[in-house]
Amino acid sequence: MTLHERASGHTGTEAERRAGKKVATEGELIHWAGAYDRLLQIGTFGRETRIRRRMLDAARVGEGERVLDVGCGTGTLALLAAERVGRGGEVVGIDPSPEMIARARAKAARRGSHARFEPAALEALPFEAARFDVVLSSLMLHHLPRPLQLAGLDEIRRVLAPGGRFCIVDFGGGGPVLHRLTAHVASRHHGDEAAGLSFSALADEARARGFEAVTVRSFRPRALRMLEGVHPRGERRPGVRRSNGAAAP
Ligand SMILES: C[S@@+](CC[C@H](N)C(=O)[O-])C[C@H]1O[C@@H](n2cnc3c(N)ncnc32)[C@H](O)[C@@H]1O
């Protein structure tokens, strides 16, 4: 049983059967989807939407773009991204937790959103190469042991179109006390191997994979940091056009 399952007293098997597909991953799943939304509202003092929009601004998500949100949870970020890209764009959220996907789908249906949600894991994305203009990841990487974080970077590179960009926001900011606290939480999930999320190490790994303009930035709230990078433009996909009619870069 995982830490989250112990914390929530819920193994998720009922809901997994209801939501169908079970996704294999060593990532730390969250099964308490309803409580998760309430927790975020409380934890952000009601400013969740504002913080999500800040991330979309930073990632410069715009009309007609194809966006993938990896580890989308209950879909709040993806739903806001769908408003930005409009009907000419596309937003897909993936998460291996069937409860998270079920809740994200219900929220999308309630709001009439065109965002789609699929059960899948970052390290094995069910999409062809060069499929997206933007990959977003919010508060998710610390749920993965180090080898999966690196496999995830490989997958992000594979599914991004040339000139496409990724934007990762996660714990890693703040002073030494906060940093030690988040490192402690991560090491409880994954053992010493993870020992927190090193943004500078991840940035080096992104550069080693050919990403350009790789930058680590502070983010608000201060407990968070942001890592972004751009897929090299050198690899062209002949004949592929964006859904808004513009030629892919
Ligand atoms: C703290 S939540 C963040 C959810 C959402 N992105 C947000 O910002 O609220 C972390 C999410 O990562 C998901 N997760 C765990 N392992 C994963 C994996 N291998 N690939 C993708 N998502 C994963 C969990 O199920 C959970 O929904």
Fill in the DSSP letter of residue 246: P
Name which of 116, 70, 79, 117 is nearest 98 in CA terms: 117
pTM: 0.84
CATH of 3-230, one of 3.30.70.1710, 3.20.20.70, 1.10.1060.10, 3.40.50.150: 3.40.50.150
If you take atom 16 of ligand 1, which residue's CA is the nearest one? 27
If you take atom 9 of ligand 1, which residue's CA is the nearest one? 73
State the closest ligand 1 atom to the C-alpha of 72, by its place in the atom list counted from 1: 6
User: What pLDDT does 225 receive?
Assistant: 92
Query: Could you tell me the two tokens for 222?
Result: 């201060």
Per-residue pLDDT tens for 134-188?
A: 999 999 999 999 999 999 999 999 999 999 999 999 988 666 666 666 666 555 5
Q: Does the structure show a pLDDT above 50 at 240?
A: no
The predicted model gives 8-19 an average pLDDT of: 45
Task: Tell me, using a 6 A CB cutoff, whether residue 96 lines ligand 1.
Answer: yes
Residue extents of the structural domains in the chain = 3-230
State the closest ligand 1 atom to the C-alpha of 123, by its place in the atom list counted from 1: 19
Task: Tell me, using a 6 A CB cutoff, whether residue 59 lines ligand 1.
Answer: no
What is the Å distance from ligand 1's center to 240 Cα?
Answer: 30
- Separation between Cα atoms, residue 101 and residue 123, nearest integer Å: 17
User: What pLDDT does 27 receive?
Assistant: 93
pLDDT above 90: percentage of residues in the chain: 70
Q: Strands, E, within the chain: which ranges?
A: 66-70, 90-95, 116-119, 132-138, 160-171, 212-218, 224-230
Task: Tell me, using a 6 A CB cutoff, whether residue 28 lines ligand 1.
Answer: yes
What is the Å distance from ligand 1's center to 237 Cα?
Answer: 30
What is the Å distance from ligand 1's center to 238 Cα?
Answer: 33
Q: Does the structure show a pLDDT above 50 at 245?
A: no
Question: Do the bridges between strand 90-95 and strand 160-171 make them parallel or antiparallel, or are there none, so unpaired?
Answer: unpaired
Task: Tell me, using a 6 A CB cutoff, whether residue 16 lines ligand 1.
Answer: no
If you take atom 22 of ligand 1, which residue's CA is the nearest one? 71
State the SS3 of 97-125.
CHHHHHHHHHHHHHHCCCCEEEECCHHHC
Per-residue pLDDT tens for 102-114?
A: 999 999 999 999 9
Question: Do the bridges between strand 224-230 and strand 160-171 make them parallel or antiparallel, or are there none, so unpaired?
Answer: antiparallel
State the closest ligand 1 atom to the C-alpha of 30, by its place in the atom list counted from 1: 25
What is the Å distance from ligand 1's center to 75 Cα?
Answer: 10
What is the Å distance from ligand 1's center to 64 Cα?
Answer: 25
